[in-house]
Chain A
Amino acid sequence: MQTNFTEVQLRDPAIQVADSILRSCVHCGFCTATCPSFITVGDEDDSPRGRIYLIKEMLESGSAASAPVAFHLDRCLSCLSCMTTCPSGVDYMHLIDHARTHVEQTFRRPWHDRGLRAVLAAILPYPARMRWALRAAGLARPFVGLIPQRGVLFARMRAMLALAASERVVAQGVGDVTAQTVHPAQGTRRGRVLLLAGCAQRVLDPGIHAATIRLLNRMGVEVVIPQAAGCCGALTHHMGKHAAFVAQAGATIRAMTDALDEETDAIIINVSGCGTVVKDYGFALRGEGPDLAGKAAKISALAMDVSAYLLKIGYQRTRPESGLTIAYHAACSLQHGQKITDAPKALLRQAGFRVVEPRDAHLCCGSAGTYNILQPEIASSLRARKLDTLTALSPDAIAAGNIGCLTQLAGAGIPTIHTVELLDWMAGGPCPAGLKS
């Protein structure tokens, strides 16, 4: 597609990247068909192709982002379904990341929007704050009926309380296994990995890390948790808050780098939303000085989703077949962001489950980080659509590799369980809490 950047604009390396991405788009429109927001809203402006066009106009003009542009870019889930579909190989992810930063830097949002984003960015990446916030939300829950029915702000408040009061069943009394740095391998050590402890998942479902560590240890893998590695920065990254992202990602990268040794096989991530961002550190931080950029690239190269690692080292079940049917929900960050599609299903089959998949598996469930809080209407429509297709399969449980999806899809009468918990169970671990009830 034709672009109209001036020579001066093209001296900016970031604009150069954006220009080459824009030029690779031939505007064929295939992406519209698999874009969850376009399917829900039915407006070109809410399709990948429409957003690419909005971004092109915004960047070419060189001026501040306008309210309509911010509005439509905010409605993008960053699910990256469009990238799986695109025949031209348009790098939409890096384009929208760039645009989000531009919006954040040049557009002043309404006070309540700014406030909410600031609150989310100040709480979610910090486990202690998040625990406190969940308790507070639990106290506020009885008053949800007092929130007015109309208005974006109130819809978001209701969405937040609904998520905080998730009916999802999680393992109790697990404690924070991530407080311990080294989890030694059982038997002969076959490998050594670092595990990203992260943030929100630790609080929402500590059993996932516990299962990951148990399973890996049992398979002879030493798991090391660098204590200073916290949030990966995905949340602020997707809000376009670049400085905060650099700070968070930088801290995590340095902590990870310090913990690396020559025998480290991989950096294991069991939240696919984080995994997509960590795998992109090398690109996202390329301009942050040679030291950090170099380390970032190395961390990205070592990052691996837990499913890919398990498949690589050879997972085997030890318990007899459960006879359960598991609906595998492909998290977008895993299927589109990391292009990991078969590994989790293959593992679940090896674990003796009957694996089924919903229709339109490429569509997002609406979780998408903080999207379900910031865009509650579209998110709840996508959730309903996804649950319709999942319940049609009558599964015993829904498995996914991303805590956001697990939370988003909870409360419909089908347990939502992290893939690794099911794998751990069939290899000798405890039955996942969700299945016991």
Chain B
Amino acid sequence: MIALPAPNPATLARRDALVAGLRKILPAADGVIADPVRLKPYETDGLTAYRQMPLAVVLPETTEQVAAILAFCQAQNVRVIPRGAGTSLAGGALPLADAVVIGMMRMNRILQIDYADRYAVVQAGVTNLGITRAVEADGFFYAPDPSSQLACMIGGNIGMNSGGAHCLKYGVTANNVLGVKLVTITGDIIELGGTHLDAAGYDWLGIIIGSEGQLGIVTEITVRILRAAEGTRAMLAAFSSNAIAGACVDAIIGSGIIPVALEFMDRPAIHACEAFAHAGYPLDAEAMLIIEVEGSADEQTAMLERIKEICSAFAPTSLKISQNDAESAAIWKGRKGAFGAIGRISPDYLCMDGTIPTSTLPQVLARIEALSAEYGLKVANIFHAGDGNLHPLIMFDANQAGQMQKAEAFGADILRLCVEVGGCLTGEHGVGVEKRDLMKVQFTEIELDLQRAVKSAFDPDWLLNTAKVFPLDRLPARASLPHAA
């Protein structure tokens, strides 16, 4: 289990006074939650293996309220945990006992849509899919599409620099944001970027996006919206082994074709997802690719023909091109619901998120298989094959003593392997609390110290989302734990 810092006894002792202070900022009856029963559902997020009750939860509705809360918390030396929809698979929204959780879900309005300049201004609590839903009738969409896009909020996407299945062509969150309204721990409201590309001066957006709430809280976001292609079509290609499917991925990219999406699933993943989505996934295959192309009907056909030809060289066990939008939607429903669908075959799972050089896929999958046997835990693999982002889903039963610890160790081994072959710990889910202690596998202490110093530049007292991202053992003196009141 992961260690959490000892709570600050002074903060705990002043709980009632702090809650009263927060209630002055948020006078609405239910704007501040302090009742332990009500707090309970906030003790965890999408990673239920880790749980910790917070001191209180606040649900602000305006940027000014967020600023007042942060200024109050800094003045009172109270830690703060930002939370969006709570879908993090890395424990990004895990509370601390002496921390106030700032829930952004009430800030869920779309403020402006501009088609001529192709941007939308939204509050942090708008869901990722909510943006696309608001503009799709006019043919536009918001490009990053994490699997949790139905529920996850754009503020959380900013925190984790979320990706998705279509980033090979359209990029991740950082590539699709023009501006943000950032509230600093001092309660200052700073506008970064705007409605134009490439703000002059430092790339503040670049460092804020993906900073996991370490630097400030983003309340408003200006995102690029793009015109959707004339149409898209997905294709399923099934193979008799993981290695063959991996080789086929290499061949496709090597041919100069960049499909808009290129997804890989192994046998257990295919079975779990098919049970949920009924998309016609090939249940007899060892591995399957979802390949998507876009353009006019003719363009799609031409591109799929070329891809089919490449696949044919790898003796596919089946090739299936979706015949209509409903079939394509079903194919994606299965993929996007994959993590939840694992709930049908296992009560608990840990989802890893390492990225590897795509050429190492067969080698990595073979090693994962061996580890699976070693640990006695099943694993399903889902892989954004185009960009090397691998999602092994380790299945376990948390009600069985010791299995959780085993799953954690298995996961850590996989991530070490990802780094060893030239990849990284996390491609799109973030470090959160889950991979915090593995940061030393990827970075030297000097590198970590530099990152810590960047955090300190924004948050000198280390009050923002403490105990995430950075290993606890070398926190700066000012954040030494338990910290001084």
Contacts and interface: CB of A to CB of B under 8 A. Distances in A.
A29 B343 contact: no
Contacts of A42: 59, 103, 105-106, 108, 125
Nearest to A27: B48
Size band of the interface chain B makes with A: 35 or more
Contact of B150 (A27, A30, A88, A90): A30
Contacts of A26: 48, 339-340, 342-343, 348-349
A30 B340 contact: yes
A28 B339 contact: yes
Contacts of A267: none
A397 B410 CA distance: 59
A28 B41 contact: no
Contacts of A39: 108
B344 interface: yes
Nearest to A4: B399
Contacts of B87: 28-30
Interface stretch (B29-37, B252-260, B357-365): B29-37
Interface stretch (A43-51, A120-128, A155-163, A414-422): A43-51
Interface in A78-101: 85-90
A45 B33 contact: yes
Contact of A68 (B37, B48, B49, B129): B37
A44 B103 contact: yes
Contacts of A38: 105
A372 interface: no
B329 to A, nearest CB: 14
Nearest to B107: A42
A54 B42 contact: no
A396 interface: no
Contacts of B85: 29, 32-33
Contacts of B106: 42
Nearest to A51: B41
Nearest to A58: B37
A280 B44 CA distance: 33
Given A2-B399, A89-B276, A53 B348 contact: no
A27 B339 contact: no
B7 interface: no
A28 B37 contact: no
A357 interface: no
Interface in A345-375: 359
B40 A88 contact: no
B347 A29 contact: no
Contacts of A44: 41-42, 86, 103, 105
Contacts of A34: 150
Given A29-B86, A42-B105, A87 B343 contact: yes
Nearest to A65: B37
Contacts of A49: 41, 86
A54 B41 contact: yes
A106 interface: no
Nearest to A39: B108
Interface string A46-71: 00011001100100000000101100
A2 B405 CA distance: 13
Interface in A129-178: none
A28 B127 contact: no
A69 B340 contact: no
A88 B59 contact: no
A69 B46 contact: no
Nearest to B339: A28
Interface in B330-388: 337-344, 347-349
Contact of B46 (A23, A27, A45, A359): A27
Nearest to B84: A29
A25 interface: yes
Contacts of B110: none
Given A44-B42, A68-B38, A86-B340, A32 B33 contact: no
A252 to B, nearest CB: 34
A5 B294 CA distance: 51
Contacts of B276: 87, 89
Specify which of B48, B347, B398 lies most central, judged by the most chain A CB atoms within 10 Å of its CB: B347
A72 B35 CA distance: 13
A29 B151 contact: yes
A85 B341 CA distance: 11
A1 interface: yes
A63 to B, nearest CB: 11
B148 interface: yes
Contacts of B103: 42-44
Nearest to A49: B41
Interface in A1-25: 1-3, 23-25
Contacts of A53: 40-41
A89 B150 contact: no
A343 to B, nearest CB: 17
Nearest to B277: A87
Interface in B102-130: 103, 105-106, 108, 125, 127, 129
Interface in A212-268: none
A87 B41 contact: no
Specify which of B129, B398, B404 lies most central, judged by the most chain A CB atoms within 10 Å of its CB: B398
Interface string A310-339: 000000000000000000000000000000
Contacts of A359: 133
B341 A88 contact: yes
Given A26-B348, A54-B37, A57-B40, A43 B341 contact: no
Contact of A23 (B42, B150, B338, B399): B399
Contacts of B42: 44
A32 B150 CA distance: 9
Nearest to B398: A2
Specify which of B38, B129, B339 lies most central, judged by the most chain A CB atoms within 10 Å of its CB: B38
A41 B85 CA distance: 13
B44 A27 contact: yes
Nearest to A87: B340
A85 B150 contact: yes
A43 B343 contact: no
Nearest to A67: B37
Given A26-B348, A54-B37, A87 B127 contact: no
Contacts of B347: 1-2, 23-24
24 contacts: A1-B347, A1-B348, A2-B48, A3-B399, A24-B343, A26-B343, A29-B151, A33-B85, A33-B150, A42-B59, A42-B108, A43-B105, A44-B42, A45-B33, A45-B38, A53-B40, A54-B41, A57-B37, A68-B35, A69-B37, A86-B340, A87-B343, A88-B343, A89-B343
Top 6 closest A-B pairs, CB basis? A88-B343, A87-B340, A2-B398, A87-B337, A42-B106, A33-B151
